[in-house]
Amino acid sequence: MKWRKLGLVYRPEGTYSWAKTHAMIPTPVRINDDVIRVYITCCDDQFIGRPGWVDLDAHNPLRVLDFSEQCLLDVGRPGTFDENGVLACSVVQVDSQKYYMYYAGFEHGKKIRYRLLTGLAVSTDGGLTFRRYQETPVLERSPGELYFRGGPFVIKEKACYRLWYVSGSDWVTLSNKKKPVYNLKYLESPDGINWGSCGAPCLNITDDDEHGFGRPWVVKNSSDDYELFYSIRRKSLEGYRLGYARSNDGLSWDRKDNLMGLDVSEAGWDSEAIMYSAVIEAFGNKYCFYNGNNFGEDGFGVAICEEF
Protein backbone atom coordinates (compact mmCIF):
# COMPACT_ATOMS: atom_id res chain seq x y z
CA MET A 1 0.00 0.00 0.00
CA LYS A 2 1.03 3.58 -0.57
CA TRP A 3 -0.51 6.21 1.67
CA ARG A 4 -0.40 9.99 1.42
CA LYS A 5 -0.86 11.82 4.69
CA LEU A 6 -3.53 14.52 4.46
CA GLY A 7 -2.81 16.01 7.86
CA LEU A 8 -4.19 16.47 11.34
CA VAL A 9 -7.98 16.28 11.41
CA TYR A 10 -8.99 17.23 14.92
CA ARG A 11 -7.60 18.11 18.33
CA PRO A 12 -9.57 19.31 21.37
CA GLU A 13 -9.45 23.05 21.96
CA GLY A 14 -9.71 22.61 25.74
CA THR A 15 -13.18 24.21 25.88
CA TYR A 16 -14.83 21.32 27.69
CA SER A 17 -13.65 19.97 31.04
CA TRP A 18 -13.80 16.34 29.86
CA ALA A 19 -11.87 17.08 26.64
CA LYS A 20 -8.80 19.13 27.49
CA THR A 21 -6.30 17.04 25.52
CA HIS A 22 -5.98 13.98 23.26
CA ALA A 23 -8.26 12.47 20.65
CA MET A 24 -7.31 8.82 21.09
CA ILE A 25 -8.18 5.64 19.20
CA PRO A 26 -10.08 7.09 16.21
CA THR A 27 -13.00 4.78 15.40
CA PRO A 28 -14.76 5.81 12.17
CA VAL A 29 -18.31 4.77 11.28
CA ARG A 30 -20.16 5.73 8.08
CA ILE A 31 -23.46 6.96 9.53
CA ASN A 32 -24.84 8.07 6.14
CA ASP A 33 -23.61 8.75 2.62
CA ASP A 34 -22.16 12.14 3.47
CA VAL A 35 -20.89 11.80 7.05
CA ILE A 36 -18.11 9.79 8.69
CA ARG A 37 -18.52 9.85 12.46
CA VAL A 38 -15.23 9.27 14.26
CA TYR A 39 -15.55 8.18 17.87
CA ILE A 40 -12.59 9.27 19.96
CA THR A 41 -11.48 9.36 23.58
CA CYS A 42 -10.45 12.71 25.05
CA CYS A 43 -8.76 13.39 28.38
CA ASP A 44 -9.49 15.80 31.20
CA ASP A 45 -6.74 17.63 33.10
CA GLN A 46 -6.14 14.47 35.19
CA PHE A 47 -5.53 12.38 32.04
CA ILE A 48 -8.79 10.46 32.55
CA GLY A 49 -10.40 9.46 29.26
CA ARG A 50 -14.02 9.74 28.17
CA PRO A 51 -15.44 9.13 24.67
CA GLY A 52 -16.99 11.62 22.29
CA TRP A 53 -17.41 11.90 18.53
CA VAL A 54 -16.42 14.12 15.62
CA ASP A 55 -18.49 14.25 12.41
CA LEU A 56 -16.49 14.64 9.20
CA ASP A 57 -17.44 15.34 5.59
CA ALA A 58 -17.19 11.99 3.80
CA HIS A 59 -16.15 13.87 0.63
CA ASN A 60 -13.36 15.65 2.52
CA PRO A 61 -12.42 14.02 5.84
CA LEU A 62 -10.35 17.03 6.86
CA ARG A 63 -13.56 19.05 7.13
CA VAL A 64 -15.11 18.86 10.62
CA LEU A 65 -18.91 19.20 10.59
CA ASP A 66 -19.78 18.75 14.24
CA PHE A 67 -18.48 17.59 17.64
CA SER A 68 -20.18 16.15 20.71
CA GLU A 69 -20.22 18.80 23.44
CA GLN A 70 -20.93 16.20 26.12
CA CYS A 71 -18.98 13.01 26.70
CA LEU A 72 -20.83 9.89 25.63
CA LEU A 73 -20.06 7.93 28.78
CA ASP A 74 -18.65 9.06 32.10
CA VAL A 75 -16.23 6.96 34.13
CA GLY A 76 -17.67 4.21 36.30
CA ARG A 77 -18.47 4.30 39.99
CA PRO A 78 -15.57 3.89 42.44
CA GLY A 79 -14.45 0.28 42.50
CA THR A 80 -15.72 -0.59 39.03
CA PHE A 81 -13.50 -1.72 36.16
CA ASP A 82 -13.81 1.60 34.31
CA GLU A 83 -13.44 4.01 37.22
CA ASN A 84 -10.30 5.62 35.74
CA GLY A 85 -11.18 5.83 32.08
CA VAL A 86 -13.46 4.77 29.23
CA LEU A 87 -11.67 4.24 25.89
CA ALA A 88 -13.99 3.68 22.91
CA CYS A 89 -12.50 1.10 20.52
CA SER A 90 -15.28 -0.26 18.30
CA VAL A 91 -18.80 0.86 17.32
CA VAL A 92 -21.13 -1.59 15.56
CA GLN A 93 -24.49 -0.86 13.96
CA VAL A 94 -27.07 -3.38 15.17
CA ASP A 95 -30.11 -1.94 13.36
CA SER A 96 -31.22 1.41 11.97
CA GLN A 97 -31.03 3.15 15.35
CA LYS A 98 -29.17 0.79 17.68
CA TYR A 99 -25.38 0.82 17.99
CA TYR A 100 -23.07 -1.11 20.30
CA MET A 101 -19.96 0.62 21.59
CA TYR A 102 -17.24 -1.69 22.88
CA TYR A 103 -14.75 0.08 25.09
CA ALA A 104 -11.72 -0.61 27.26
CA GLY A 105 -12.28 0.23 30.91
CA PHE A 106 -9.18 1.56 32.65
CA GLU A 107 -8.58 0.54 36.27
CA HIS A 108 -5.52 1.52 38.30
CA GLY A 109 -3.75 -1.11 40.36
CA LYS A 110 -1.47 -0.92 43.39
CA LYS A 111 0.86 -3.82 42.62
CA ILE A 112 0.41 -3.57 38.86
CA ARG A 113 0.05 -0.33 36.92
CA TYR A 114 -3.42 -0.95 35.51
CA ARG A 115 -5.96 -3.38 34.08
CA LEU A 116 -7.91 -3.11 30.82
CA LEU A 117 -11.19 -5.01 30.49
CA THR A 118 -13.95 -4.65 27.90
CA GLY A 119 -17.28 -2.97 28.53
CA LEU A 120 -20.37 -2.41 26.39
CA ALA A 121 -22.51 0.68 25.93
CA VAL A 122 -25.69 0.90 23.83
CA SER A 123 -27.14 3.69 21.70
CA THR A 124 -30.78 3.73 20.55
CA ASP A 125 -30.63 7.10 18.77
CA GLY A 126 -28.30 6.38 15.88
CA GLY A 127 -25.04 6.64 17.82
CA LEU A 128 -25.53 10.13 19.26
CA THR A 129 -25.74 9.08 22.92
CA PHE A 130 -24.89 5.88 24.80
CA ARG A 131 -25.65 4.18 28.12
CA ARG A 132 -23.87 1.31 29.83
CA TYR A 133 -25.26 -2.14 29.18
CA GLN A 134 -24.00 -3.13 32.64
CA GLU A 135 -21.47 -1.97 35.22
CA THR A 136 -19.34 -5.09 34.88
CA PRO A 137 -17.22 -6.09 31.86
CA VAL A 138 -18.55 -8.19 29.02
CA LEU A 139 -14.97 -9.51 28.84
CA GLU A 140 -14.04 -10.23 32.44
CA ARG A 141 -10.66 -11.55 33.60
CA SER A 142 -9.97 -15.22 32.99
CA PRO A 143 -7.20 -17.59 34.16
CA GLY A 144 -5.11 -17.00 31.04
CA GLU A 145 -5.98 -13.29 30.73
CA LEU A 146 -5.46 -11.77 34.14
CA TYR A 147 -4.84 -8.11 33.33
CA PHE A 148 -5.82 -7.39 29.75
CA ARG A 149 -8.96 -8.27 27.82
CA GLY A 150 -9.33 -4.94 26.09
CA GLY A 151 -8.74 -3.15 22.80
CA PRO A 152 -11.90 -4.76 21.37
CA PHE A 153 -12.89 -4.67 17.72
CA VAL A 154 -16.18 -6.22 16.59
CA ILE A 155 -17.87 -6.81 13.25
CA LYS A 156 -21.31 -8.30 12.65
CA GLU A 157 -21.51 -11.03 10.02
CA LYS A 158 -25.00 -12.40 9.39
CA ALA A 159 -26.15 -13.81 12.75
CA CYS A 160 -22.68 -13.79 14.33
CA TYR A 161 -20.64 -11.13 16.09
CA ARG A 162 -16.87 -11.54 15.66
CA LEU A 163 -14.43 -10.05 18.17
CA TRP A 164 -10.68 -9.50 18.04
CA TYR A 165 -9.11 -8.16 21.20
CA VAL A 166 -5.90 -7.58 23.18
CA SER A 167 -5.09 -10.25 25.77
CA GLY A 168 -2.36 -10.69 28.35
CA SER A 169 -1.14 -11.48 31.87
CA ASP A 170 2.45 -10.21 31.89
CA TRP A 171 4.67 -7.13 32.06
CA VAL A 172 8.14 -6.25 30.81
CA THR A 173 10.45 -3.60 32.29
CA LEU A 174 11.66 -0.96 29.85
CA SER A 175 13.62 2.10 31.02
CA ASN A 176 12.71 1.22 34.63
CA LYS A 177 8.99 1.21 33.83
CA LYS A 178 6.63 -1.75 33.60
CA LYS A 179 5.03 -2.12 30.17
CA PRO A 180 2.24 -4.58 29.26
CA VAL A 181 2.78 -7.76 27.27
CA TYR A 182 -0.12 -8.97 25.17
CA ASN A 183 -1.21 -10.64 21.95
CA LEU A 184 -4.44 -10.75 19.93
CA LYS A 185 -7.23 -13.26 20.53
CA TYR A 186 -10.57 -14.04 18.91
CA LEU A 187 -14.11 -14.85 20.07
CA GLU A 188 -17.60 -15.19 18.60
CA SER A 189 -21.02 -14.38 20.03
CA PRO A 190 -24.62 -14.84 18.84
CA ASP A 191 -25.75 -11.55 20.41
CA GLY A 192 -22.66 -9.37 20.80
CA ILE A 193 -23.01 -9.50 24.59
CA ASN A 194 -22.10 -13.00 25.79
CA TRP A 195 -18.61 -13.95 24.66
CA GLY A 196 -17.25 -16.65 26.93
CA SER A 197 -14.06 -16.75 28.96
CA CYS A 198 -11.44 -18.23 26.63
CA GLY A 199 -10.39 -16.59 23.39
CA ALA A 200 -8.50 -18.36 20.61
CA PRO A 201 -5.02 -16.94 19.86
CA CYS A 202 -4.94 -15.38 16.40
CA LEU A 203 -1.81 -13.18 16.38
CA ASN A 204 1.13 -13.86 18.65
CA ILE A 205 4.32 -11.93 19.34
CA THR A 206 7.03 -13.38 17.12
CA ASP A 207 9.78 -10.77 17.31
CA ASP A 208 12.00 -10.31 20.37
CA ASP A 209 11.63 -6.54 19.95
CA GLU A 210 7.84 -6.68 20.30
CA HIS A 211 5.91 -6.71 23.56
CA GLY A 212 2.31 -6.06 22.49
CA PHE A 213 -0.26 -5.06 19.92
CA GLY A 214 -2.71 -2.16 19.90
CA ARG A 215 -6.43 -2.10 19.04
CA PRO A 216 -6.98 -4.30 15.96
CA TRP A 217 -9.08 -3.12 13.00
CA VAL A 218 -10.46 -5.79 10.65
CA VAL A 219 -11.82 -5.16 7.14
CA LYS A 220 -13.49 -7.72 4.90
CA ASN A 221 -12.52 -6.87 1.33
CA SER A 222 -14.26 -7.44 -2.00
CA SER A 223 -12.58 -10.85 -2.37
CA ASP A 224 -14.11 -11.99 0.94
CA ASP A 225 -10.65 -12.06 2.48
CA TYR A 226 -9.82 -10.19 5.68
CA GLU A 227 -7.31 -7.43 6.30
CA LEU A 228 -5.98 -6.65 9.75
CA PHE A 229 -4.64 -3.21 10.63
CA TYR A 230 -3.01 -3.06 14.03
CA SER A 231 -0.33 -1.37 16.13
CA ILE A 232 2.93 -2.95 17.29
CA ARG A 233 4.60 -1.96 20.56
CA ARG A 234 8.37 -2.17 20.10
CA LYS A 235 10.89 -2.36 22.96
CA SER A 236 13.65 -0.57 21.09
CA LEU A 237 11.45 2.37 20.16
CA GLU A 238 9.30 2.37 23.31
CA GLY A 239 6.51 3.39 20.97
CA TYR A 240 4.04 2.10 18.41
CA ARG A 241 4.40 1.40 14.71
CA LEU A 242 1.72 0.09 12.35
CA GLY A 243 1.31 -3.50 11.20
CA TYR A 244 -0.74 -5.24 8.53
CA ALA A 245 -1.88 -8.85 7.98
CA ARG A 246 -4.17 -10.88 5.71
CA SER A 247 -6.41 -13.89 6.28
CA ASN A 248 -9.00 -15.92 4.41
CA ASP A 249 -11.02 -16.64 7.55
CA GLY A 250 -10.16 -13.95 10.12
CA LEU A 251 -8.51 -16.54 12.37
CA SER A 252 -5.13 -17.42 10.87
CA TRP A 253 -3.22 -14.30 9.85
CA ASP A 254 -0.27 -13.89 7.52
CA ARG A 255 1.74 -10.91 8.73
CA LYS A 256 2.82 -8.54 5.97
CA ASP A 257 3.90 -5.53 8.03
CA ASN A 258 6.21 -4.34 5.27
CA LEU A 259 3.17 -3.71 3.05
CA MET A 260 1.50 -1.27 5.43
CA GLY A 261 3.35 1.70 3.97
CA LEU A 262 2.45 4.23 6.65
CA ASP A 263 5.10 5.30 9.14
CA VAL A 264 6.16 8.21 11.33
CA SER A 265 6.91 11.63 9.84
CA GLU A 266 10.28 13.35 10.01
CA ALA A 267 8.86 16.01 12.34
CA GLY A 268 5.63 17.09 13.95
CA TRP A 269 2.75 15.48 15.79
CA ASP A 270 3.36 11.94 14.41
CA SER A 271 7.18 11.92 14.31
CA GLU A 272 7.79 9.70 17.35
CA ALA A 273 4.97 7.15 17.14
CA ILE A 274 2.08 6.11 14.93
CA MET A 275 -0.79 3.94 16.17
CA TYR A 276 -4.46 2.91 16.25
CA SER A 277 -4.98 2.68 12.49
CA ALA A 278 -8.63 2.53 11.37
CA VAL A 279 -9.47 2.10 7.69
CA ILE A 280 -12.73 3.08 6.00
CA GLU A 281 -13.87 3.74 2.44
CA ALA A 282 -15.91 6.69 1.13
CA PHE A 283 -16.70 7.63 -2.47
CA GLY A 284 -14.11 5.26 -3.89
CA ASN A 285 -11.34 6.44 -1.57
CA LYS A 286 -9.71 4.43 1.20
CA TYR A 287 -8.79 6.45 4.28
CA CYS A 288 -6.73 5.53 7.32
CA PHE A 289 -7.34 7.46 10.54
CA TYR A 290 -4.59 7.22 13.14
CA ASN A 291 -2.90 8.75 16.20
CA GLY A 292 0.65 10.01 16.56
CA ASN A 293 2.91 10.95 19.46
CA ASN A 294 1.96 10.24 23.07
CA PHE A 295 -1.19 8.26 22.31
CA GLY A 296 -2.91 11.01 20.37
CA GLU A 297 -2.05 13.97 22.57
CA ASP A 298 -2.21 16.29 19.55
CA GLY A 299 -5.33 14.72 18.05
CA PHE A 300 -5.85 12.33 15.14
CA GLY A 301 -4.93 12.49 11.48
CA VAL A 302 -5.88 10.84 8.21
CA ALA A 303 -4.10 9.42 5.17
CA ILE A 304 -5.47 8.42 1.77
CA CYS A 305 -4.47 5.23 -0.01
CA GLU A 306 -3.02 5.99 -3.44
CA GLU A 307 -1.82 2.50 -4.34
CA PHE A 308 -2.78 -0.97 -3.15
pLDDT digits (tens, 9 = 90+) for 121-148: 999 999 999 999 999 999 999 998 999 9
Cα–Cα dist 210/232, whole Å: 7
Is 86:49 a contact under the CB 8 Å cutoff?
yes
In which band, very low, low, confident or very high, does the pLDDT at 167 lie, cut at 50, 70 and 90? very high
CATH no. for 2-307: 2.115.10.20
CA distances for 245 relative to 13, 156, 229, 288, angstroms: 36, 20, 7, 15
* 173-210 pLDDT, tens digit each: 999 999 999 999 999 999 999 998 889 999 999 899 99
Q: Rounded to the nearest 5°, which phi and psi values hold at 295?
A: 55, 40
The rounded percent of the chain whose pLDDT value lies above 70 is 100
| Domain ranges for the chain | 2-307
Could you read off the pLDDT of 19-60 as tens digits, one per residue?
A: 999 999 999 999 999 999 999 999 999 999 999 999 999 999
Q: How far apart, in whole angstroms, are the C-alpha atoms of residue 114 and residue 181?
A: 12
> Does this model's pTM top 0.95?
yes
